[in-house]
């Protein structure tokens, strides 16, 4: 019985660690202060630098709450070098970005324009990526906060680049 229990614990450890070894899921872009009304137009982009991972059961942490993720378009499977958008209101996101045809997840949240702590967690509630963003560092109303090799910066275009490589504005800010 003891050997069975040890085997079960080892299997659980392998399953949890598999996410860490195979996936490198990061928060890649944050639209926290869109032009006009923020209400329903906010979104974040997740990017996978590692091998394919199933995001079913994952959570978006914001405002002290673990928000669920509901599939709207695409698949919960995030392939290597792929993006997923988590939108506050998917219908408004699709109106704002009518050419977007990638994976879209729905979640209920409201990002603070002044900044806050956000995170993405796997189904075991392990944090995969986190950021404590601040608007005052970038002053980018209408542009996204985007992750680059050197760190975070404002996007070079109003509206950001959901589902695509980030546009660097390091020369503009």
Percent of the chain with pLDDT over 90: 57
Question: What pLDDT sits at residue 2?
Answer: 59
Q: In which band, very low, low, confident or very high, does the pLDDT at 101 lie, cut at 50, 70 and 90?
A: very high
Residue with tokens 């963003």: 133
Count CB neighbours of 14 within 10 A: 10
Give the pLDDT band (50/70/90) at residue 157: confident
pLDDT of 19 higher than 60: no
Mean residue pLDDT across the chain: 83
Distance from C-alpha of 152 to C-alpha of 160, rounded to nearest angstrom:
13
Full-model pTM: 0.82
- Kindly tell me if the per-residue pLDDT of 120 is higher than 50: yes
pLDDT band of residue 48 (cuts 50, 70, 90) is very high
Strand 82-87 to 103-106 pairing: parallel
Q: Kindly report which listed range (5-14, 119-128, 158-167) carries the lowest average pLDDT score.
A: 5-14
Q: Using an 8 Å Cβ cutoff, are 33 and 141 in contact?
A: yes
Residue 27 is predicted with a pLDDT of: 97
Q: Does 4 have pLDDT greater than 50?
A: no
Distance CA 30, CA 25 (A): 15
């Amino acid at each position: 019985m003891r050997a069975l229990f040890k085997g079960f614990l080892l299997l659980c450890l392998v399953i949890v660690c598999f996410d860490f070894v195979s996936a490198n899921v990061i928060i890649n872009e944050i639209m926290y202060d869109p032009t006009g009304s923020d209400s329903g137009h906010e979104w974040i982009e997740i990017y996978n630098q590692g091998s394919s991972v199933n995001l079913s059961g994952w959570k978006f942490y914001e405002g002290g709450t673990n928000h669920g993720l509901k599939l709207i378009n695409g698949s919960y499977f995030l392939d290597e070098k792929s993006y997923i958008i988590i939108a506050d209101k998917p219908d408004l996101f699709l109106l704002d970005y009518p050419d977007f045809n990638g994976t879209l997840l729905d979640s209920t949240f409201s990002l603070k324009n002044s900044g806050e702590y956000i995170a993405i967690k796997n189904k075991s509630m392990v944090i995969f990526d986190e950021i404590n963003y601040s608007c005052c560092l970038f002053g980018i109303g209408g542009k996204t906060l985007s992750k680059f090799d050197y760190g975070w910066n404002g996007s070079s275009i109003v509206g950001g680049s959901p589902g695509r490589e980030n546009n660097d504005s390091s020369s503009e800010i």
